Amino acid sequence: MLKNNLLASAISLIGGLSLGLVQTYEADLIRSLLAGCLAFLIPAGFTLLASGAMPEKKAVPTATIGLAATGIALLGYLVCGFALEFGGIGLVWNLPGLEGLIWEWSPLDVTWGTGWGALGLKGFFFQKGTDTPLAYALFFSQLPLVITASLIPLLTLRKRTRPFVLVLGAFLTAAVIYPVIGNWVWGGGWLANLGLNLNLGHGFVDFAGSGMVHLLGGVAALAGILAFGLRSEKVEGPAQMPPVHLPLLAILGSLLLPVGWLGLVFSNPLYASDHSLPVSLTALNIVLAAGAAVLAAMLYAWFTTSEANVLMGARGLAAGLVAISAACPFVPPWAALVIGGVAGFLLPLGIYFVEHLLH
């Protein structure tokens, strides 16, 4: 009798623990999805920021590009982007739901060791075995980043080439370029494993995508500028602050960005159950870097032109967010202030270099 009671109690305990783990797992996914919804404010904010710098008749086409980037990026990432980026993520993350994503191609022989992967090869259209809630959540969390990486060259090159070329370039960015580099950094590829394979610290670390998203988008835009030619006209006379035609749009876009960034850093379902992540410090660093960058950019404009420039301040906020993204959970608050301040100070100098020296 006693043995049966003990057995029944043990079964009940195990069942209760299992139910609790399932409920916790589902709650973590729900939190990740809600944060991912906020992250969509990032491409929206960049679109509004770019539209605010345009005359009214050009603001609508600029906003339309933002909508187009959303559809193009989603399609490209679904077709093959997710598989190329996370097709081997199950080899490095032992989480329920990733068991089917275990095919990673490496150009090096296995005698070099593990962790030299370069390309995922599983998960195309979520074929059977990869269609799990965690895989879906991982796909969803990447969409704001993919859209942003595709949006940057679209906004930059919109007047330099034909729409078909823009659409094709955005599709290739979402379907191939972003996923391949994402595999190296976040999908278990060789860059992230340089610490394990070559004893180079923790390997390449980019927590929220400073390089993965914004540097990638910027390099793609620069490549397009070099391919399609520089501006034919040159900016004459003394350097001026960039004009702002629709200041309220620029301000609104810049204010949406910090909210989207907070959603972005907490949307990755791979970290949803990692309680060692310093959540409060991460959020604080993001806000501090953004604030320091705004002050640095606007003070620079004030000292050089005797007035604070709205667009420079809005762009400075974005620059601070981009600069802190890679290291936001790993640096103390004073370092976040320094990072944001440096980014905000360098922003107007970078604009001068691009506009007046590179034309």
What averages of pLDDT result for each successive group of 10 residues across the chain (359 residues)? Answer: 47 41 68 92 92 82 86 93 94 89 86 83 90 93 94 85 86 95 93 89 90 90 82 60 78 94 91 78 95 94 85 93 94 97 94 79
Exposed, middle or buried, 286 (CB in 10 Å: 0-12/13-18/19+)? buried
Q: Which residues contact 113 (CB under 8 A, 6 or more apart)?
A: 197
- What integer pLDDT is reported at residue 236 of this predicted model? 62
Residue type, 188: G
- What integer pLDDT is reported at residue 331 of this predicted model? 95
d(CA 156, CA 21): 47
d(CA 193, CA 259): 31
- Taking the CA atoms of residue 262, residue 268, residue 274 and residue 277 in that order, the dihedral angle to the nearest 10 degrees is -30
Cα end-to-end distance, the chain, whole Å: 88
- What integer pLDDT is reported at residue 128 of this predicted model? 87
Rounded to whole angstroms, what are the CA distances from 332 to 265, 291, 338? 17, 15, 10
Model pTM?
0.88
Residue range 207-252, pLDDT digits in tens: 998 888 999 999 998 888 888 876 656 656 566 666 777 888 889 9
- What integer pLDDT is reported at residue 273 of this predicted model? 66
Using DSSP's 3-state secondary structure scheme, residue 34 falls into helix
